[in-house]
Amino acid sequence: MTATNLDTLRTIIDFAIQKEQEAVDFYTDIAGKVRLKSVAEELLKFAVMEKGHRDKLQRLDLDGFATKATPEVANLKIADYLVEAKPHDTMTWQDIVHIAMQRELASLTLYTNLAGMVADPAVKQLLENLAAEEAGHKLYFERIWDEDILTEN
């Protein structure tokens, strides 16, 4: 792996770590604002899972990888992974679920794309596992949307 590719991979992993920390902060913050204890507990479980993702990424030994990132790494289009909706103090449950779905989809897309950019089987598997976990999170919120929010509207 060239120094440039290693720096690019580090930048990507640092971005993923930042997004996981944002997810931890988001779920922790929202859990402190919801009224139902059961919902708060569920949101805190997501915060713990996202912290686990962050920790896995922080433990990656990028210097130990003898792989080459593909040229597309430089064209990540990071803006595509950013969530437009921002949490605010007057959010409804619908707002929370909407933002959570967007965040989980962005994480799923990020890890799927990253997995396609690395050749090292261990890193690829880690990223695919993270993508699968994010897909599960997204499905969780989609089910809430389908079962609770759509039936209310």
Residue with tokens 């990888």: 65
| Domain residue ranges of the chain, discontinuous segments joined by + | 3-152
Q: DSSP letter at 73?
A: G
**What integer best gives the mean pLDDT of the chain?**
78
Burial class (CB in 10 A: 0-12, 13-18, 19+), 19: buried
Q: What is the CATH number of domain 3-152?
A: 1.20.1260.10
Q: Helices (H), strands (E): how many in the chain?
A: 5, 0
Q: How far apart are alpha carbons 151 and 38 in whole angstroms?
A: 20
Predicted local distance difference test score (pLDDT) of residue 77: 44
Q: How far apart are alpha carbons 76 and 110 in whole angstroms?
A: 9
Q: How far apart are alpha carbons 138 and 152 in whole angstroms?
A: 20
Residues sharing a CB contact under 8 Å with residue 51, sequence separation 6 or more, in sequence order = 20, 24
Predicted local distance difference test score (pLDDT) of residue 22: 92
The model carries a pTM of 0.70
The answer to whether 130 and 113 are in contact (CB under 8 A) is: no
Buried b vs exposed e over 100-119: b needs ≥16 C-beta within 10 Å? Answer: bbbbbbbbbebbbbbbebbe
Q: How far apart are alpha carbons 70 and 67 in whole angstroms?
A: 10
**pLDDT tens for residues 50-83?**
999 999 889 877 665 544 443 333 334 444 554 5
Predicted local distance difference test score (pLDDT) of residue 9: 72
Is the model more confident about 75 or about 3?
A: 3
